[in-house]
């Protein structure tokens, strides 16, 4: 189990690195565009690049954020129950989350296939949309893997 958890952690750290690079790119692009715009030489397609990068940042950072439990937990009611009831609640909610992200990932892959088939591209830079849809769809499947690791931790008594 530890080997599987370590491999999963390594995979999501790579995704988080990609998200960090995309965020840094967004920051530098925005600053550079503001500076060049004041000199009347704006960067063409900045809006599109920031939008694509923002999607990458959100999608690729989600598994790592879930892994470190960096999102908001509202568990003031659940924390009053016994560990057995908390674990049962966590198992049920984690199974629901896995189902949700499987459906989101599957639909994003289908949407990416539609975008690829239709050849839809961004307006200014003519960049295709489908790689972003595929990437975020794959990240949703990896999110399922992360939540599955949570289930392993719950059953192994190492959760919390």
Q: Are 90 and 156 in contact (CB under 8 A)?
A: no
pLDDT tens per residue, range 83-95: 999 999 999 999 9
d(CA 5, CA 81): 28
pLDDT tens per residue, range 3-56: 999 999 999 999 999 999 999 999 999 999 999 999 999 999 999 999 999 999
d(CA 107, CA 113): 10
60 has pLDDT over 80: yes
Q: Are 155 and 31 in contact (CB under 8 A)?
A: no
11: DSSP letter: H
Q: pLDDT band for position 127 (50/70/90)?
A: very high
Report pTM: 0.90
Rounded to an integer, the average pLDDT of 75-87 is 87
| Range of weakest confidence among 48-57, 69-78, 91-100 | 69-78
Q: Are 149 and 117 in contact (CB under 8 A)?
A: no
**pLDDT value at residue 12:** 98
SS3 labels along 79-124 = HHCCHHHHHHHHHHHHHHHHHHHHHHHHHHHHHHHHHHHHCCECCC
């Amino acid at each position: 189990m530890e080997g599987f958890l370590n491999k999963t952690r390594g995979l999501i750290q790579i995704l988080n690195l990609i998200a960090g690079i995309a965020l840094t790119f967004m920051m530098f692009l925005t600053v550079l565009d503001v500076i060049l715009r004041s000199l009347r030489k704006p960067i063409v397609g900045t809006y599109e690049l920031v939008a694509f990068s923002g999607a990458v940042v959100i999608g690729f950072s989600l598994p790592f954020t879930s892994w470190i439990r960096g999102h908001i937990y509202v568990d003031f009611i659940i924390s009053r129950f016994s560990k057995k009831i908390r674990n049962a609640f966590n198992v049920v909610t984690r199974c629901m989350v896995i189902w949700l992200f499987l459906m989101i990932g599957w639909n994003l892959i289908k949407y990416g296939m539609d975008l690829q088939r239709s050849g839809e591209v961004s307006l200014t830079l003519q960049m295709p949309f489908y790689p972003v849809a595929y990437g975020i769809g794959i990240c949703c499947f990896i999110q399922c893997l992360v939540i599955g690791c949570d289930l392993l931790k719950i059953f192994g008594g190492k959760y919390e």
